[in-house]
Amino acid sequence: MSTAIELRGVEKNFGITSVIRNVSLTVAQGERHALIGPNGAGKSTLFNLISGYMVPSTGSILLRDEVVSGLPPYQINRRGLSRSFQVTNVFANMSVWENLRCAVLWAAGYRYTFWKNIDNLPEVRERTARILSDINLTARRDVPAGLLTYAEQRALEIGITVAGGANVILLDEPTAGMSHAETERAVELIRRLTEGCTLLIVEHDMSVVFGLADRISVLVYGQIIASGTPEEIRGNPKVREAYLGEEAA
């Protein structure tokens, strides 16, 4: 199986603090890979590095065998990688419909077009409508994104992430702050929307992680201490000690 994401000896330092230390990781095409670890382990930083929001201090990041570290986020996005944010990050004054449509435009090939009426682009309309009904926000289509409920905003966040049709999806704690029922719905949504995609997900909820992931990597103090199938991770003594043990105790 070919690789979707590959990290080779990636390090990230902020001044003298090193947040990511020599991380090497491979995510195969079509794999659902979960990244777990205690707070402050560097999971979000790792996401920021992969998505181009930050540049690694050393090491390289490859997206489908092409080096992408050092490229700006939009270049990486155009190469088929899309990410969501831990803190909801939408276009607050624009309607749900417009939010999704913005996420569709580039991939639909409309780029910086200023000579076409946005309402006369049937394929954009169609893709936006499909995502809208996928995330079950049809009834909230014309509501400004800033006025949605928290769970709705999280759904929109995922919708924006997948709308462009990227096949490598990074989700940063998509179920954080959700009730049990909301979490279940969100997981169902993620499973459905990322069908056939490569998924890298940061998650704290262990039931989500073990239910969704094919493989799990454990990040502690900026280092990956274990990587394997859910069973392997569950049985790994180092992981139990560093992470799961704390939770169980």
- Under 8 Å CB-to-CB from 82, ≥6 apart: which residues? 161, 162, 164, 166, 168, 169, 170
Q: Is 97 in the site for another protein (CB under 8 A)?
A: yes
137 in Cβ contact with 152 (< 8 Å): yes
Q: Label residues 69-107 b or e (16+ Cβ within 10 Å = b).
A: bebeeeebbeebbbbbbbebebbeeebbbbbbbbbbbeb
Binding region for another protein (CB under 8 A) out of 28-36, 141-149, 224-232, 234-242: 141-149
Please pick, from the candidates 49, 90, 135, 226, the single residue that binds another protein as defined by CB under 8 A: 90
Q: Is 114 in the site for another protein (CB under 8 A)?
A: yes
# of chain residues touching another protein (CB under 8 A): 53
Phi, psi for 132 (deg, rounded to 5) = -60, -45
Binding region for another protein (CB under 8 A) out of 11-19, 29-37, 157-165, 179-187: 157-165
Please give the Cα distance from 248 to 243 (Å, whole number): 9
Q: Is 105 in the site for another protein (CB under 8 A)?
A: yes
Q: Is 185 in the site for another protein (CB under 8 A)?
A: no
| Residue of 58, 62, 103 lying closest to 83 (CA atoms) | 103
Pick out residues in 214-243 that bind another protein (CB under 8 A). none
| Residue of 220, 222, 190 lying closest to 233 (CA atoms) | 220
Q: Which two tokens stand for residue 213?
A: 């992931």
Pick out residues in 40-59 that bind another protein (CB under 8 A). 51-53
CB of 143 to another protein, least distance (A): 6
Q: Which residues bind another protein (CB under 8 A)?
A: 51-53, 72-74, 77-78, 82-83, 85, 89-94, 97-98, 101-103, 105-107, 110-119, 121-122, 125-126, 128-130, 132-133, 138, 141-143, 147, 160-161, 163-164
